[in-house]
Amino acid sequence: MRQFFRSLPIKNKIFITFASVFVVVITIIGVAMYLTNVNEMKNQTQSMSKVLSGQLSRTIDLYFQDIDRLSLAIFTDSYIQDTLSNYQDKQGLYNDINIRNNMYPRLFNQMYPRSDIASITIYTNTGTVFDYDQSGDIEVRYETQQKGWMMSLDQIDKNSFLLLPTEKKVFQNGEEKQVVSLVRNIYRIPQRNKIGVIKIDISIDVFEKLLELENVQEIEEHMTILVLAENQSVIYDHNRNFIGESEIGLNLPDVRENEPKDGTLTWQSNSYLYANDYSNFTNWNTVVLIDNKFIIYERNQILLFIAISGFIAIFVIGVISYLLSYNITKPFTGMMRKMRKVEKGDLTDRMVLTGHPEMDVLTRVYNRMLDSINKLIKEVYESSITEKNAKISALQSQINPHFLYNTLNVMKSISRVKGVEEVAEISESLSELFKYSMKDLDKKVTLQEELDHIENYMRIQHHRFRDRFTLQQDIEGKAKDALIPKLLIQPIVENAVNHGLKDKKSGGRITLEAFVKEGSLVVNVRDNGKGMGQQTLEQVRKKLNQKMLDNNEGIGLNNISQRLELMYGYRYEMNIESSEDAGTKVIIILPYQE
């Protein structure tokens, strides 16, 4: 793995390093946020259930304190006091109906404004019962057997009451309702002897109003609110699943303090957070249960939010890291690309200052290094040229040019005397070729002089190849006076004859163009020969760009390119265009100089 990392480009190393560091940091932050938020959410949920159970317990207490006051109002009514105090067993049905009729307005006044009270029942000591319910009628009935809760009433304090568990009650109109009842003994004032019992039945629907939930919509479907009696029977269940049941298997710790208790428990194979508040007034437990599925759901929501946020953050940081690594390494990448060109022999490409101090130092050193290399190459090449010129001079000293010219002129004269005009013409052209080629090779000549030299060369070739090809010239007048290196164009024309048109039996054509454009002399040499394929053309261009001199090629294209660079530096252009069976075109652009 380490070896693989070392082999990566520096841009990738920087990107991977930055991205990895940020991913680790974001992961640590994400885990910390997850744990913190989950614990905070759990604590808030527990706290909310604790507050809710306490509030609900206080609300129920206030309500039953009001019911207690209502029972006292009926308890202390003068007519009810007198009636119950003087009521005797077997006093007659007529007398009971009179009592019922007189008791009706008093109970009606107490019940009419309150829809929550289902019925009020008054028991005499003799078993006569006056039962008034919301149907608007009061019923008289007789019960011979004392109820069990009546015996419990006799055992408590005279100022106290009992709350009976939830039960179903059928009213006089046939309607059935679940009610919870407040019962208390009625004592004669002021003697304080028992004269009857009052029972107030309260519709269980009143708990819907008492337990009205606000701002808990998200959690309500996962919440269960129970009001339990001391014996764990269910007074009320806000989901209405267990109302009236005596045992539901909810094992709560005993609570007798003012503060609600909370924690976790398992009920019906599910785990719950719970809060339990015990009321000393009603002796009931108000229990709020929150299913652990809500905790899991909220935890997953937090995890999803952190995961999405982390992914977005990692993506943004990844993009920033990539751009940062790209911008840091971009100058180095450019330098590496240029150094690869140097490795292949191209010393022409220079780096441009970027404005970055550190990179600009490298840029200047790199450019100076290439300048030094070019200078050394130029010096070596010039010494090579000097050596070749010395060899040519040695050859010239061995062969007297005047002797050669005179000999060719004698051959021309004899040929004309003998009537062999072609030999005379060839001798004259050859004489001019030698005269042009063998002196002042390092001097510049006009384009017209080079064209004259090409004419002499072409006359000799026409005698050799007859009419297989022609030379066409399109020379701008101003271009004829331009100074160019000697033997610049003739070798190109010679290449066209020897390579491009060698297989042409007829119709060959060499076109020579020259014109001045924007301060530069443009020379085009084009033939309609066999041309070159794309692969061959690329090889030739590569060889020219690398300035590779092949001694076996004599004064060929590479030699011309080297001479142009020595004379003009980087102020010249030389390019080749060619396609197979369509010919070749050589383009030379030089600074214009008269």
DSSP code of residue 249: -
Amino acid at 189: I
CB–CB of 103/79 below 8 Å? yes
Q: What is the pLDDT of residue 525?
A: 93
Is the model more confident about 443 or about 147?
147
Helix (H) or strand (E) holding 173, with range, is none
CA distance 217 to 207: 18
* SS3 state at 337: helix
Tell me how far CA of residue 312 lies from CA of 21, 208, 358, 366, 422, in angstroms. Answer: 16, 46, 34, 42, 89
What CATH topology corresponds to 463-591?
A: Heat Shock Protein 90 (3.30.565)
Sign of the torsion angle spanned by Cα atoms 387, 388, 394, 397: negative
Nearest Cα neighbor of 485 from 523, 516, 511, 456 is 523
Nearest Cα neighbor of 445 from 413, 473, 487, 475 is 487
CB–CB of 543/526 below 8 Å? no
Mean pLDDT, the chain, integer: 81
CB–CB of 80/122 below 8 Å? yes
Q: What is the pLDDT of residue 200?
A: 93
Sign of the torsion angle spanned by Cα atoms 103, 108, 111, 117: positive
Q: What is the pLDDT of residue 552?
A: 43
Amino acid at 301: Q
CB–CB of 197/160 below 8 Å? no
| Tokens representing residue 116 in the block | 């929550």
Q: What mean pLDDT do residues 8-30 have?
A: 77
- Could you state, in order of their start, the residue ranges of all structural domains in the chain? 8-335, 342-379, 463-591
Flag whether pLDDT at 6 surpasses 70: no
CA 313, chain centre distance (Å): 7
CA distance 20 to 16: 6
| Tokens representing residue 146 in the block | 């004392």
Residue 427: phi and psi, rounded to 5, are: -65, -40
> Among 90-94, 375-379, 487-491, which is the least confidently predicted range?
90-94
CATH superfamily placement of domain 8-335 = PAS domain (3.30.450.20)
CA distance 67 to 82: 23
CA distance 424 to 148: 159
> Among 236-240, 322-326, 384-388, which is the least confidently predicted range?
384-388
CB–CB of 493/525 below 8 Å? yes
Flag whether pLDDT at 551 surpasses 50: no
- For the ranges 290-304, 379-393, 411-425, 526-540, the one whose mean pLDDT is highest: 526-540
Dihedral over alpha carbons 412, 416, 419, 423 (to 10 degrees)? 20
User: Which residues sit opposite 202 in a β-bridge?
Assistant: 117, 180
Q: What mean pLDDT do residues 371-393 have?
A: 69
Give the DSSP letter string of 6-65. HHS-HHHHHHHHHHHHHHHHHHHHHHHHHHHHHHHHHHHHHHHHHHHHHHHHHHHHHHHH
Flag whether pLDDT at 440 surpasses 70: no
The number of beta carbons lying within 10 Å of the beta carbon of residue 240 is 10
Flag whether pLDDT at 406 surpasses 60: no
Could you read off the pLDDT of 123-133 as tens digits, one per residue?
Answer: 998 888 898 88
Tell me how far CA of residue 195 lies from CA of 101, 142, 154, in angstroms. Answer: 20, 16, 12
Q: Which residues contact 538 (CB under 8 A, 6 or more apart)?
A: none
| Tokens representing residue 188 in the block | 């004669």
- For the ranges 254-258, 497-501, 524-528, 580-584, the one whose mean pLDDT is highest: 524-528
CA distance 111 to 229: 26
Tell me how far CA of residue 92 lies from CA of 87, 88, 98, 142, in angstroms. Answer: 11, 9, 10, 12
Strand order in the sheet with 162-170: 138-142, 128-133, 117-124, 194-203, 176-187, 162-170
CB–CB of 7/313 below 8 Å? no
CA distance 188 to 420: 173
CB–CB of 150/197 below 8 Å? yes
| Tokens representing residue 5 in the block | 């990392």
| Tokens representing residue 138 in the block | 């009061």
Tell me how far CA of residue 382 lies from CA of 387, 412, 550, 579, in angstroms. Answer: 8, 39, 16, 35
CB–CB of 161/71 below 8 Å? yes
Flag whether pLDDT at 437 surpasses 90: no
Flag whether pLDDT at 333 surpasses 50: yes
Q: What is the pLDDT of residue 554?
A: 38
Give the DSSP letter string of 439-465. S-TTSEEEHHHHHHHHHHHHHHHHHHH
Q: CB pairs under 8 A, 24+ apart, for 154-158? A: 154/185, 154/194, 158/185, 158/187, 158/192
Radius of gyration over alpha carbons of the chain, in Å? 60
Q: What mean pLDDT do residues 362-389 have?
A: 75
% of the chain with per-residue pLDDT over 90: 13
CA distance 412 to 529: 34
Q: What is the pLDDT of residue 66?
A: 92
CB–CB of 278/285 below 8 Å? yes
CA distance 275 to 225: 10
Strands (E) in 188-244, as ranges, are 194-203, 223-228, 234-237
Flag whether pLDDT at 392 surpasses 70: no
- For the ranges 33-37, 152-156, 505-509, the one whose mean pLDDT is highest: 152-156
Q: What is the pLDDT of residue 390?
A: 57
CB–CB of 471/510 below 8 Å? yes
Amino acid at 526: R
